[in-house]
């Protein structure tokens, strides 16, 4: 949605497009050499109702490999509907791991071997509600590596879960009720993974500390609608960001979340926010009906510097490639960063190239 308040910045250049057949809702790039050219796209497709009148939600994990001339589908895995995916920031025993949450109350861990994903372990959450969806996940190790990382998940009943990967098995450590409606997002504060933030459809933004218990240590109601996205900045201590259906991105200092430090109005509701993997001073935002955008985060303001309107119908997924700028010189088009994005009803994945000032010390 473009209007006078949001000029159609178009510095992005589309390199590849792919029709996913099923609706696409997440894109995640592998962060590790030599597989930084690999990414996954998660799918969510509503099927016909089952005999017990429950909703049949189908999914796929699509594994792609990118070169300067080709986008190759390496693998397609039929699953339950995928709600979120995240690669573990550090390798475990020298292997890249992908966490996936789905519509059948499960967290799955896949390992990447020879451009294929192999299911390593799965944890199924027990729940009296048959149609519980696990909506989001985050790994604890973006700042500090561990061979036994923690994972936090959120679900459609408003619950937050904390698990640990121990010897290739998932162990549930804590579960607690956080939100009155769907808990759309949960994420670690990477500087101290004892701390977890969550956001829900009740428009409440919560901070938890597992050392204290399952009651929030801070609560904020500044959002005017459901809180859908969150990301901790691994380079700037105390800084985190949240996004909401109210179309605002909010910047926070976790030492005082009574009031946000700053906010910026976007052209649509937020679904995903990602700090750039290089200097953590740019945000990539999937704004659903309002496109995909790059926001420069200055000490005293945030501003949109790039916009991508190739997705016409619900841009849910967006992620930065971890490929270094010099690795992109052989790709056609101007720019020094690659972005993957996808849209739901378009059933579309796009790979695009653009430019960010990665040398800036603003």
pLDDT in tens, 338-357: 999 999 999 999 999 999 99
Higher pLDDT: 362 or 352? It is: 352
pLDDT tens per residue across span 108-120: 999 999 999 999 9
pTM, rounded to two decimals: 0.95
Query: Which residue segments constitute the domains of the chain, with CATH numbers given?
Result: 13-354 (2.130.10.10)
Extract the tokens encoding 157.
């009943």
For the chain, what is the mean pLDDT? 93
pLDDT tens per residue across span 159-190: 999 999 999 999 999 999 999 999 999 999 99
CA 185 – CA 158 distance, rounded (Å): 10
Q: How many CB atoms lie within 10 A of CB 4?
A: 5
Of the candidates 99, 102, 63, 98, the residue with the CA atom closest to the CA atom of residue 83: 102
CA 310 – CA 295 distance, rounded (Å): 18
β-bridge partners, 118: 111
Extract the tokens encoding 142.
């973006």
Residue whose pair of structure tokens reads 């790979």 in the numeric block: 351
What 3-state DSSP class applies to 87?
strand
> How far does the chain reach from its first CA to its final CA, in angstroms?
30
């Amino acid at each position: 949605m473009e209007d006078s308040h949001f000029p159609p910045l178009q510095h992005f250049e589309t390199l590849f497009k792919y029709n996913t057949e099923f609706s696409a809702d997440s894109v995640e790039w592998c962060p590790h050499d030599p597989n930084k050219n690999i990414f996954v796209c998660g799918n969510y497709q509503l099927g016909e109702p089952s005999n017990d009148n429950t909703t049949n939600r189908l999914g796929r994990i699509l594994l792609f490999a990118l070169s300067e001339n080709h986008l190759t589908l390496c693998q397609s895995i039929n699953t339950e509907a995928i709600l979120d995916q995240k690669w573990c920031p550090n390798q475990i025993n020298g292997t890249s791991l992908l966490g996936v949450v789905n519509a059948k109350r499960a967290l799955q861990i896949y390992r990447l071997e020879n451009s294929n994903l192999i299911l390593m372990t799965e944890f199924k959450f027990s729940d009296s509600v048959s149609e519980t969806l696990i909506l989001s996940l985050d790994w604890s190790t973006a700042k500090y590596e561990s061979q036994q990382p923690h994972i936090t998940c959120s679900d459609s009943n408003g619950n937050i879960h904390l698990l640990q990967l121990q010897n290739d098995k998932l162990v549930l450590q804590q579960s607690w009720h956080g939100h009155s409606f769907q808990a759309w997002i949960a994420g670690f504060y990477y500087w101290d993974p004892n701390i977890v933030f969550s956001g829900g459809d009740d428009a409440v933004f919560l901070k938890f500390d597992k050392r204290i218990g399952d009651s929030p240590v801070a609560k904020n109601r500044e959002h005017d609608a459901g809180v859908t996205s969150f990301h901790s900045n691994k380079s700037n201590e105390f800084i985190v960001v949240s996004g909401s259906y109210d179309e605002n991105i909010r910047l926070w200092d976790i030492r005082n979340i009574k009031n946000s430090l700053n906010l910026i109005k976007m052209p649509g509701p937020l679904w995903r926010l990602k700090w750039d993997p290089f200097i953590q001073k740019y945000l990539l935002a999937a704004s659903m009906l309002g496109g995909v955008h790059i926001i420069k985060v200055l000490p005293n303001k945030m501003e949109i510097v790039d916009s991508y309107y190739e997705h016409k119908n619900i841009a849910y997924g967006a992620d930065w490639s971890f490929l270094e700028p010099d690795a992109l010189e052989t790709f056609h088009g101007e720019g020094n960063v690659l972005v993957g994005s996808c849209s739901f009803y378009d059933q579309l994945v796009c790979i695009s190239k653009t430019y960010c000032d990665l040398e800036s010390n603003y």
